[in-house]
Amino acid sequence: MTLTEDGPRAATAPHEKPGMRLTLRIWRQQDASAPGKMVDYRLDDVSPDMSFLEMLDVLNEQLIMEGQDPVAFDHDCREGICGMCGVMINGRAHGNGLHEGHPQTTTCQLHMRSFKDGDVIDIEPWRASAFPVIKDLAVDRRSFDRIIQAGGYISVPTGTAPEAHAVPVPKKDADFAFDAATCIGCGACVAACPNASSMLFTAAKITHLGLLPQGQPERDDRVVNMVAQQDREGFGGCTNIGECSASCPKGISMETISRLNHDLLGALRAGVRPKS
């Protein structure tokens, strides 16, 4: 079955045609300490209108019916905004770049129309020592939480929000800060990076807060402590290859990394050292 992006949908009503037949090769691993392996599954009658995760739901229903252990994978909102889902699909984080002209997306927003009948799809978890496998495709990303805890915040009293217009922010800065703030912390950058580096994630937060007036008081401490924490978690170093940005469902730019480096050098020159 051939699918065209702008072909008339009505002509290919899903009920009248048999769905796609797929071979899934999925990483199965009982727990963090057990060795894992790729296991083949056949799935018939997959509708091109299904999302990738719905396709995995169908597989899991089939596995449960057969009395087998369903495949564990993370997901939550299924709207591409929570950052919970994320697997390597045919060697690409979230399957980004699988479909010509396909916008960068999260796994949940990838649809089966990006595949064709007879495809073999390899599905693996994010691989990084800082993202240990919990089970099958689910990985533990709390290392990201600890990077945020190291400085990815501003210390202000909560309560009644002040008048927004009281602190003017240049439009250019506000826009860029917002672009950086769209990071959902899915971990695709680490998964795609040849060095398993978390630079794009950390840099997005540094950029987001560093561009806004509220982020200034803690700017130096923030960058020094967040970078120290990402090293401590066992992430790799950045070699500016750009796989992260190209795989990011939110399109966080490489400029954020340059900004992190700039801020870090400034902070180190100012004598700021990481908290041990």
Partner 1 sequence: MVTVTTQSGQRRAPKAAKTSSVFKKVVMAVSGIILVLYLIAHMIGNLKAFSGREDFNHYSEWLRTIGNPALPGATVLWIIRIVLLAAVLAHIWAAVSLWRQAKRARPQGYVTRKAVAQSYASRTMRWGGVIIAAFVIWHLLDLTFGAVNSEGHDGSPYDRLLASFQNPVSTIFYAIAVILLGMHLRHGVWSATQTLGQSNRRREVTVNYAATAFATVLTLGFLLTPFSVLFGLID
Task: Give min distance, CB of 17 to partner 1, in A.
Answer: 29
HEC assignment per residue over 123-149: EECCCECCECEEECCEECCHHHHHHHH
Residue 231 interacts with partner 1 (CB under 8 A): yes or no: yes
Nearest-angstrom CA–CA distance, 65 and 199: 43
Nearest to 85 by CA among 138, 129, 46: 138
Nearest-angstrom CA–CA distance, 167 and 162: 9
Cα 236 to chain centroid distance, Å, stands at 17
Q: Which of 55, 108, 228, 252 is close enough to bind partner 1 by CB under 8 A?
A: 228
- The residue range among 8-16, 39-47, 111-119, 125-133 that interacts with partner 1, by the rule CB under 8 A, is 125-133
Q: Which of 105, 106, 109, 247 is close enough to bind partner 1 by CB under 8 A?
A: 247
Q: Which of 3, 81, 241, 272 is close enough to bind partner 1 by CB under 8 A?
A: 241
User: Which residues, 181 to 200, sit near partner 1 by CB under 8 A?
Assistant: 192, 194-197
Task: Give min distance, CB of 222 to partner 1, in A.
Answer: 14
Task: Give min distance, CB of 188 to partner 1, in A.
Answer: 11
Q: How many residues make contact with partner 1 (CB under 8 A)? A: 63
Nearest-angstrom CA–CA distance, 129 and 74: 18
Q: Is 71 exposed, middle or buried (0-12, 13-18, 19+ CB in 10 A)?
A: buried
Task: Give min distance, CB of 100 to partner 1, in A.
Answer: 13
User: Which residues, 65 to 94, sit near partner 1 by CB under 8 A?
Assistant: 72, 74, 76, 84, 88, 90-92
Nearest-angstrom CA–CA distance, 173 and 160: 25
Residue 55 interacts with partner 1 (CB under 8 A): yes or no: no
- Between strands 20-28 and 37-46, the pairing is antiparallel
Nearest to 11 by CA among 26, 1, 22, 23: 1
Residue 151 interacts with partner 1 (CB under 8 A): yes or no: no
Residues that bind partner 1 (CB under 8 A): 25, 27, 32, 38, 72, 74, 76, 84, 88, 90-92, 96-97, 122, 124, 127-130, 132, 134-135, 138, 140, 192, 194-197, 227-228, 230-243, 245-247, 253-255, 257-265, 268, 274
